[in-house]
Structure 1
Amino acid sequence: MSRVVLIGMCLLLAACSGGEHEDLRQWMVDETKDIRGRIPPLPEVRPYEPVPYDAGNLLDPFRSAKIEPEHRKSGGGGMQPDFNRHKEPLESFPLESLKYVGVLLKAKASYAIILADGALHQVKLGNYMGQNFGVITKISESEVALRELIQDPGGEWVERVSTLQLQEKETGK
């Protein structure tokens, strides 16, 4: 019985697949004949016109020689560090690596104790330390003040005041 039902179903499906859909095809052709894409025309291409480049008399930004500032050309004065002076031991260390760890008072003179690279150094007013020609101007129980000479971008030597604060005892070591 199931074979008979299966064969009947196949025949019914085959009857529906006829090529009598001509009216549907004609409707599709009628509807799509007026639908066309509209593409705007391409813009007009202008011819290339090269721009003349005349930079022969201008400065070359890639020249390796540095331009000297005007004050150097005229032999400008101003403050300058003493390059002929004998360097002190603490001048070979950057100021950031030096630590102010104590102060000594001897016969009305103050001496600061500076820790540099694991060694203690004793300094007084007028001594130099740091790599920027720093001269000690004041020693107190809480800080050491220095006057440094640094070169600005224009080549001028300018003063900068820096301080080293007293370092408290470090814990955990």
Structure 2
Amino acid sequence: MMKMIFRSSVLLLAVTSLSACGDSEETEIRSWMEAERKEIKVIVPKLSEPKVYVPFSYDAKGSTEPFDPAKLLVVLARLKAQSGNGVDAPDPNRRQDALESFPLDILKMVGTIEKNKVVYALVQADKTVYQVKAGTYIGQNTGKITKISENEIEIKEKVLDAAGDWTERDAKLELQESKK
């Protein structure tokens, strides 16, 4: 029993000494925080007055809407009338040449030959080689060969532009060097 009293007194002494330490540190921290609070001055800037909202009234109720498809058709018709580029639509009844069924990007110029003072270009499509001369149609955009030189074929194609008008553009087929 004596041992038990001794142990409880030692335990009581330890708890008391620890609680005294805790209070002094807490008191010290609280006093430091109070001193700091007194020294700091809080500055709150004044808020500016909010801007006044002025509603916008849309008064164009009777006029044409800006995204109306009819308005776009009127503008396109005016542009078509002003363009007057003089390029006629391709003749749908014209007999098609053999190379008009191939797009230009798969056709290859592989050489030239001359017969009776007329220069012919040799054009390969798939595995077949065709002889073409100036005036022959080539490619899927109604391309007409305008000039044949030793290194290239010059072509004028007829294509539709964004306004729906036919226009001409230049294209070329350059001589493809053989890989040996």
CA distance in 2, matches of 1:19, 1:82: 102
| Structure 1, unpaired ranges of 5+ | 1-6
| Equivalent residue for 2:67, pick from 61, 70, 85 | 61
Match of 2:103 in 1: 94
Aligned length: 162
What pairs up with 1:19-34 in 2 under 5 angstroms? 19=23, 25-26=30-31, 28-34=33-39
Of 136-145 and 15-24, more deviation after overlay is shown by: 15-24
Deviation of 1:42 (Å): 3.6
TM-score by length of 1: 0.68
Is the Cα–Cα contact under 8 Å of residues 122 and 130 in structure 2 kept in the other structure? yes
Q: Deviations over 1:128-154 (max 9, x none)?
A: 112332211222322212223344445
Query: The residue matched to 1:68 in structure 2 has which SS?
Result: helix
**TM-score, scaled to structure 2:** 0.66
Find the counterpart in structure 2 of residue 82 from structure 1: 90
1:139 maps onto 2:136 in alignment: no
In structure 2, distance between residues paired with 1:158 and 1:94:
18
Q: Report which stretch shifted further, 99-108 or 48-57.
A: 48-57
Relative to structure 1, the CA distance from residue 23 to residue 95 in structure 2 (aligned partners, 3 Å threshold; closer, same or farther) is: closer
Deviation at 1:40, TM superposition (A): 2.5
Deviation at 1:51, TM superposition (A): 0.6
- Pick closer, same or farther for the CA change 1:63–1:37 going to 2, 3 Å: farther
Name the Cα RMSD after superposition. 3.5
- Provide structure 2 residue ranges, at least 5 long, that are not aligned to the other structure: 1-9
- In the TM superposition, residue 100 of structure 1 has moved relative to its aligned partner by 0.3
Q: Which residue of 1 aligns with 2:21?
A: 17
Following TM superposition, by how much is the alpha carbon of 1:69 offset from its aligned partner in structure 2, in angstroms?
4.1
- Which structure's residues are more often helix, by fraction? 2
Match of 1:3 in 2: none
Instruction: Describe the shift of the 1:76–1:14 C-alpha distance in structure 2 as closer, same or farther (beyond 3 A).
Output: same
Letter in 1 for 2:69: R
CA contact (8 A) 1:69 1:155 kept: no
Contact 2:151 2:174 in 1 (8 A): yes
Could you list the per-position Cα deviations for residues 61-120 of structure 1 after superposition, in whole angstroms to 9, with x for gaps in the alignment?
Answer: 352754324353479461224323222222232222211012232222222111123332
1:111 to 98, 112, 120: 120
% identical aligned pairs: 37
